[in-house]
Amino acid sequence: MLIGAHVGVAGGYDTAVAYAASVGCECLQVFAKSPRQWAARPLRAEVVRAFRDAIRVHAMGPVLVHTAYLINLGSDDDILWEKSWTALADEMARAAALGADAVVTHLGTVHRRDPARTPERIASAIDLALAHAPADGPRLLLENTAAAGSTFGDGPEELGSVLGMLDVSAGRVGVCLDTCHAHAAGYDLSRADVWRSLIEEFDRCCAMPIEAIHANDCAFPTGEHRDRHAWIGDGTIGYGGFAAMFDQPALAGVPVIIEMPGDVPVKDAENITRLKRLRDACVEPAPPGA
């Protein structure tokens, strides 16, 4: 498993890659534009070229892009829904330009007027977004939530209900597991047996493996639906929970991204070091079929 971090790009995309390398990243995640804006100017050719060159020089990858927080693919507001899938298509195009391997997105909220329509509403938005995105672009990974409020996608069953309805996007969509979100939603990832059962549930409900992990400890007890990230080992998942993560054969080769609160570079360097120590303490299993 390769370990990296979500890194800021305010100082430039190529500078972000150099920063990632300096704190020990083996892979990384970035925003392709401000996460709190619907639209932004296109990425300049020289910016894209510098980023791709830096990725190659530092042998960094996989590269993930996280979508803007405004996107709500389940909204019952037709204007917001259209803005959301259009924004997702734009994120996919930006990620393709950057040479990213995957785009990670939250799904949004339950359809307020007709909750049963939510999976179809989200799937339709994804199909439209991918139909307007580059056909040879990155994969789209759906991220689980902490099951707080009206958010949708709190686990394999809800994610699977969307994946099972997708049409033109067949073969282009997967799943990303956020450990803090799963723990907050009620999956006690401090326990190795829960890791095993959750992976089995993803296989059963989503018919596909986990393709990326956001490795964040959780500041609150499991099942409290409070999405508050904590440093690795300092939360209620704990070192034991992340050691169990590295011990899962099904997760071999999956990129692991931290999204930590705190000041740079300490927050990234320290948490990457903690995860690498846990990884090095176990014999990483070979990929299935190897």
3-state class (DSSP) for residue 276 = helix
b/e code 82-104 from CB counts within 10 Å (16+ = b)? ebbbbbbbbbbbbbbbbebbbbb
Runs of H (alpha helix) within the chain: 13-22, 45-57, 78-98, 118-131, 156-163, 179-185, 192-206, 238-246, 266-280
Are 30 and 18 in contact by the 8 Å Cβ rule? The answer is no
Q: Is 181 annotated as catalytic?
A: yes
Q: Is 143 annotated as catalytic?
A: yes
CATH number of the domain that residue 100 is part of = 3.20.20.150
Q: Which of 66, 94, 274, 279 is catalytic?
A: 66
Q: Is 259 annotated as catalytic?
A: yes
Domain that holds residue 185: 3-280
Q: Is 187 among the domain residues?
A: yes
Q: Is 227 annotated as catalytic?
A: yes
Q: Is 169 among the domain residues?
A: yes
Q: Is 73 among the domain residues?
A: yes
The reported pTM is 0.95
Q: Is 137 among the domain residues?
A: yes
Q: Is 289 among the domain residues?
A: no
Residues of the chain with confidence (pLDDT) below 50 = 284-286, 290
Question: What's residue 167's pLDDT?
Answer: 77
Residue 221: CA atoms inside 13 Å, Cβ hemisphere, count?
Answer: 2
Q: Are strands 229-230 and 217-218 parallel, antiparallel or unpaired?
A: antiparallel
Q: Is 183 annotated as catalytic?
A: no
Q: Is 286 among the domain residues?
A: no
Q: Is 229 annotated as catalytic?
A: yes
Q: Which of 26, 127, 143, 217 is catalytic?
A: 143
Q: Is 285 among the domain residues?
A: no
Q: Which of 101, 178, 211, 270 is catalytic?
A: 178
Q: Which of 154, 158, 217, 227 is catalytic?
A: 227
Question: Based on the structure, what is the number of domains in the chain?
Answer: 1
Task: Calculate ∠ Cα 26-62-190, nearest 5°.
Answer: 70
Q: Is 65 among the domain residues?
A: yes
Question: What's residue 169's pLDDT?
Answer: 63
What digits encode the pLDDT tens for the residues 57-97? 999 999 999 999 999 999 999 999 999 999 999 999 999 99
Terminal-residue alpha carbon distance, the chain: 15
